[in-house]
Structure 1
Amino acid sequence: MGRSPLANSFLDKSELKKKEPFYPLHAYVCKACYLVQLEEIESPKKIFQDYPYFSSYSSTWLKHCQDYVNEVVNRF
């Protein structure tokens, strides 16, 4: 699948000429449960240190989460 920089990692003007780290996107899929994982990961601290997205700001995402919780509670 190639290589990719961290998602939502926006560079400021002083960083534009520096080499940005890219990570390999080698996906592994469990044949039993179909869980997909990446071979190489970065620490949450590095990923979320300057993260521009907050799920609590998205009413559609919150509704989706609530609907999913209700579905799981009813199922189990």
Structure 2
Amino acid sequence: MSSIVMIRLLKTSILLGLCLIVTGHVLIVSSYFTSEYGIKGIITAAACIAIGVFLSLPTKIYLTILLMEAEKRYLKSQQPPRAKSR
């Protein structure tokens, strides 16, 4: 899988995850939804939030790995060259 496709997939995943988190929050906050559906409505809203967090988690892990690799490259470039031993 090319990096462009992977980045596009991760962006879609985080966008969908954030939308689900916001949707779940709005459903919990709205008094109509919770009074109309009761505990099943609260469970549905909590499930939306949980799935949203689950979808956004891989993106955060991938970005953390990319930042760690970039830091390694930066630190490696900042080290003075070693003197060659005879």
Calculate the TM-score normalised by the size of structure 1.
0.30
Which structure ranks higher in relative contact order (CA pairs < 8 Å, sequence separation ≥ 6)? Answer: 2
Please state which structure has a larger fraction of its residues in helix.
2
Indicate the structure with greater strand content: 1
The TM-score, its normalising length taken from structure 2, stands at 0.27
